[in-house]
Amino acid sequence: MLKGWKDIPIGGIIDEPGKSREYKTGTWRVLRPILHEDKCVHCMFCWLYCPDMAIVIDSSGQKPKMVGFNYDYCKGCGLCADVCPTKAIEMRPETEFIEE
């Protein structure tokens, strides 16, 4: 929920560290990355290149696994799709995902 003018610090000041977590930038996205799991070889290229740390990985096993995307922060830049060596990421228009 966005806050009203009486409930935020003055001057655009951010009064606590680490607050960007609360600032969901995913609303900017025009194209949405979709993972085709069958093609993914878990090379971690997308994770390395994503400028918004929006690639979700599972690092519990011996080798990390690509799991999907954090759409709260993914801005839809398409870098991950571009660097993916197996074309496992497809960029699709957000309009296809609008819920009625």
Q: Is 67 in the site for ligand SF4 (CB under 6 A)?
A: no
Q: With respect to other proteins, which residue has the nearer C-beta, 18 or 61?
A: 18
Find tokens 């990985």 and name the residue: 57
Q: Is 14 in the site for other proteins (CB under 8 A)?
A: yes
Give the separation between CA 70 and CA 23, rounded to whole angstroms.
13
Q: Is 12 in the site for other proteins (CB under 8 A)?
A: yes
Binding-site partner at residue 71 among ligand SF4, other proteins, none, CB < 5 to 8 Å by type: none
Q: Which residues contact 14 (CB under 8 A, 6 or more apart)?
A: none
